Amino acid sequence: MRKLEGCSLITFYILLVTGKLSAEFVYPNVFNDTKRDSVLFGQFPEDFMWGVASSAYQVEGAWNEGGRGESIWDSFTHNSDEIYRHDNGDIACDSYHNVDRDIRMLKEMGLTHYRLSISWSRLIPDGRSINKISIPGINYYNYLIDNLVEANIIPIVTLYNWDLPQALEKEGGWINNATLSAFLTYAVVCFQNFADRVPYWITFNEPYMFCVHGYGNGSLAPGTGDPGSGPYQCANNVIRAHALAYHTYDDHFRRRFNGKVGLNLNFDWYEPKNVLNISDVTAAETARQFLLGWFAHPIFLNGDYPDVMKTLIREQSLQQGYNISRLPEFTTEQKDRIIKTSDFFGISHYTTKLASVLMHPDDDIVTPSWSHDANLQESVNASWPKTNSLSNRVVPWGIRKALQWIKKEYNNPAILITGNGVDTSGAIDDQDRVNYIKAYTNEVLKAIEDDGVNVVGYTVWSLMDSFEWDFGYSLKYGLYRVDFSSDDRARTPRSSAQFYAQLVEENGFKSSACLITSSKKLTLLIITSIYLYHVLIDP
Ligand code: IFM
């Protein structure tokens, strides 16, 4: 047991006696720091939002039905070799034809919220022609939203979950600032048709992902790679498009519908590889600014990118022979439009990584890129539990650190955790996912109760197995299993769906579920009392 300081020990003792804290651990062989990793019993705030998430291209299918236009993901999956087994979202979970079943699943888990996304090209096939709006597209989302409302499930709607209409990509996509006006047209169509029933809007989901991987290294659609500049040009336009949509909602819809508009940003936690090494501490902080600060600093703080990004990218651009920084600058007018354009702070958090400084051998010929600009060397601790795909490790305490950091950095905003989950082998009895959700939500509870972080909701990624981008159908993130070989894409609840339903029903962790037995508790009380006596009274 790590040595506890006097006052922490008293807190620990009180929590133990009152039955709020158990000396049980969700991952006992790896994370067993009594103070940090013990299960905390308690409840989430009364109006806490409990949900699950999905996105249009990943679940809908019906890629060419109802007048839907082609999106970059149709084009990418049909033409690229980047996708596992050449899978695609042509049918996916066929949610386009399974609305009733999907809503039954949400009801089965007793959820209060469902985060879904709208397919831009299903509504406006060519991305921008207002006179070509697809009526079947509007009808589909009306049916889905109406039925959610009828089931008392509040929709959280994402406008853009990576699926740009292909017609706009042909003109440069997010690299072309003409895409901003098309996005605004699309956002207005969505607000006009659905805002009467949708109180939460997410303009963009995880722009880091599609800017760095879509317009940088090319592993996601549209797969056009200019790793040195593409990500920054994309992000610049996305931030401005977000602000445009926000102001338009403010000016024309807020008074009538009183909804909230925000965006969803990636924030896996970066921990210094060696917390005692100052360059690792700096590397981790720089990585946080490059990942989250890139978008959050302009939108939540001052309309501009973090200083560390401006400095590093400029320095490296000049060294690489560019005349100016590869990071675009916002004009004063743009900055004013960008500041404070989010009503909540949406984050996706899946894992934690270790950060250290990237070493460049002198003779290294470097391709400019986001990770090179950030000077970032990522690694993991080999002891951290693996997920099925090995790509992410399970590090529950990372989410609490991430939440604490947001609170401090951005003046305690209302945080909505819009994506958190894990891929498993696909088994119906998915205890690994149960453990992951239990441990991560428990850390969220600690952040709320002990650190005063204002977390307002949590949605699991994902409602069901779906098309996982470049991994095709090989990653299984679903609380429900989907049988992709059956015509009706049959859905079956996993153990995690049952566990999540209980968590939602109890709105937290009841001490009756306390795994700690009375005799264990007594033993712990005796040991703690002896320890307390020696530390405080007779040191
Ligand atoms: O599948 C994605 C989703 O579209 C965005 N958040 C992460 C998920 C899992 O990788």
Give the pLDDT confidence of 328-373 residue by residue, as tens digits.
999 999 999 999 999 999 999 999 999 999 887 555 667 899 999 9
Q: Structural domain of residue 462, as residue ranges?
A: 42-509
Is 321 found in the same domain as 254? yes
Residue 336: inside a domain? yes
Cβ of 419 below 6 Å from ligand 1 = yes
Is 531 found in the same domain as 443? no
Mean pLDDT of 10-16: 58
Residues 198 and 507: their CA atoms lie apart, in Å, by 23
Is 70 found in the same domain as 12? no
Instruction: Pick from 73, 160, 209 the residue to mutate for probing ligand 1's pocket: most ligand atoms within 8 Å of its CB.
Output: 209
125-155 pLDDT tens trace: 999 999 999 999 999 999 999 999 999 999 9
pLDDT at 467: 98
Is 280 found in the same domain as 226? yes
Atom index in ligand 1 nearest the CA of residue 419 equals 6
Is 265 found in the same domain as 404? yes
Is 529 found in the same domain as 411? no
What stretch of H or E contains 418? strand 415-420
| Domain harbouring 456, CATH code | 3.20.20.80
74's tokens:
């149709």
Looking at the structure of the chain, the number of domains it has is 2
Atom index in ligand 1 nearest the CA of residue 477 equals 9
Cβ of 396 below 6 Å from ligand 1 = no
In the chain the first and final C-alpha atoms are separated, in Å, by 18
Torsion (CA) 477, 483, 487, 488 in degrees, nearest 10: -70
Cβ of 470 below 6 Å from ligand 1 = no
283-341 pLDDT tens trace: 999 999 999 999 999 999 999 999 999 999 999 999 999 999 999 999 999 999 999 99
Is 120 found in the same domain as 25? no
Q: Dihedral sign for Cα 282, 283, 287, 290, please.
A: positive
Phi-psi region of 251 (alpha: psi -120 to 50; beta: other; left: phi over 0): alpha
Is 388 found in the same domain as 415? yes
Phi-psi region of 357 (alpha: psi -120 to 50; beta: other; left: phi over 0): beta
Instruction: Pick from 210, 416, 469, 475 the residue to mutate for probing ligand 1's pocket: most ligand atoms within 8 Å of its CB.
Output: 469
Is 504 found in the same domain as 539? no
Phi-psi region of 50 (alpha: psi -120 to 50; beta: other; left: phi over 0): beta
236's tokens:
């610049």
Percent with pLDDT over 90 in the chain: 87
Residues 490 and 485: their CA atoms lie apart, in Å, by 9
State the average pLDDT for the chain. Answer: 93
Is 538 found in the same domain as 422? no
Atom index in ligand 1 nearest the CA of residue 421 equals 9
Cβ of 468 below 6 Å from ligand 1 = yes
**Antiparallel, parallel or unpaired: β 376-379 and 352-357:** antiparallel
428-440 pLDDT tens trace: 999 999 999 999 9
Residues 353 and 391: their CA atoms lie apart, in Å, by 11
User: How wide is the angle at C-alpha 19 spanned by C-alphas 15 and 23, nearest 5°?
Assistant: 75
Answer for the pair 501, 109: CB distance below 8 angstroms, yes or no. Answer: yes
pLDDT at 519: 47
Nearest CA to ligand 1 atom 6: 419
Is 328 found in the same domain as 344? yes
pLDDT at 219: 94
Residue 514: inside a domain? no
